[in-house]
Amino acid sequence: MSTRPQEAAPVSSRSGTWRFDAGDGATAFVMILPAAILFGLFYLWPFVNGFWLSLHNWDGFSDPTWAGFSNYMRLAHDRTFLGALRNNLIFVVAVVVLKNALGLGLALLLNRALLGRAFFRAAAFVPVTMSFVAVGLLWSWIYNPVFGLLNSGLDLIGLAGLKRSWLGDADIALYSIIVVDVWKWLGFHAVIYLAGLQTMPSELYESAKMDGAGPLQRFRHVTVPMMMPIIFINTILGLSGAFVRNFDIVYVLTKGGPNHATEVVLTYMMSKAFQDGAMSYAAAIGYVLFMIVGLASVGLLALMRRQRLDV
């Protein structure tokens, strides 16, 4: 009788493996299907239908009529839209710069060993939890030119010459709204920076100190390079927020006034849709805004990837 051990049989044949893969794929398809249906119904179909609507003339009640790309060409000559786009760009640049600079500075401060540090961290995040309506009403009272806290404070410290109608002066109204938006979201960006700072190895700072680097040199050559991914993330979040989440605060504070001085793309789009009944024109405005935000985000992501490769 032979004592030669029998070879182990293969775990699965080729056909068995194929049947397993097919069954696994079918299971995955069944699991993904509900989410895919919801995505198609509530995201993909409205996106396609909205673009189709932008190629027509429709007031929301009568039958749509074909217009081609006339709504998009009309935007190039719409002075109010171009002014709103200019205001939006100013809003984006100011908000992104201030949120990143002040957010990183606040995170560095809250990362130090301070008495009551937990309280200050929580207090910095409180404005983020407030609704836009509450924030708008609060700052409407602060900015009130007659009994507002800001002008009263300027009177109190002897700077009455700086008193302004902060939301009624076309030259400064937009910047007053920018201050409110930065105040609301500063804690959010600071928390992201703080999370990044807490993951940085202390050995890097100790090595820099041993090499004789001062606080500014450590910040420039250690903190900033290590925080670049976080800076890019905060920049993208600030960029998208300044384009697509500024309607509430502008509408509550000024409704785009005075004389369109604080008009942004979203407030103009809403006014065209629900006040003028130009639904198709408003849809075209929305898709132009989508293209601008998409291109800016893709550019920032490409820059981030390039920076990582350089490192």
Outline where the chain has alpha helix (H).
14-39, 45-54, 70-75, 79-110, 117-129, 132-143, 149-156, 173-198, 202-210, 215-218, 224-244, 247-253, 265-274, 279-310
What is the reported pLDDT for 123? 92
Residue 221 CA to residue 21 CA, distance in Å, equals 51
Predicted confidence at residue 300, as pLDDT, reads 83
For 225, other C-beta atoms within 10 Å of its C-beta total: 11
Cα distance between residue 267 and residue 272, in whole Å: 9
What's the whole-number average pLDDT of the chain? 87
Q: 201 is written with which tokens?
A: 């190895």
The per-residue pLDDT for 4 is 52
pLDDT tens, 27-40? Answer: 888 889 999 999 99
Per residue of the chain (311 residues), give pLDDT as tens: 445 555 544 444 444 444 445 557 788 888 899 999 999 999 899 999 999 999 999 988 889 999 999 999 999 999 999 999 999 999 999 999 999 999 999 999 998 888 888 899 999 999 999 998 899 999 999 999 988 999 999 999 999 889 999 999 999 999 999 999 999 999 999 999 999 998 888 888 888 888 888 888 888 888 888 888 899 889 989 998 898 889 999 999 999 989 999 999 999 999 999 999 999 999 999 999 999 998 988 888 888 787 765 55
pLDDT tens-place string over residues 165-204: 999 999 999 999 999 999 999 999 999 999 999 888 888 8
Q: pTM of this prediction?
A: 0.84
What's residue 14's pLDDT? Answer: 47
DSSP for 256-290, please give it: T-STTTT--HHHHHHHHHHTS--HHHHHHHHHHHH
Write b or e for each residue in 173-206: b if 16 or more Cβ atoms lie within 10 A of its Cβ, otherwise e: bbebbbbbbbebbbbbbbbbbbebbeeeeeeeee
What's the confidence (pLDDT) of residue 310? 59
Residue 16: predicted pLDDT:
45
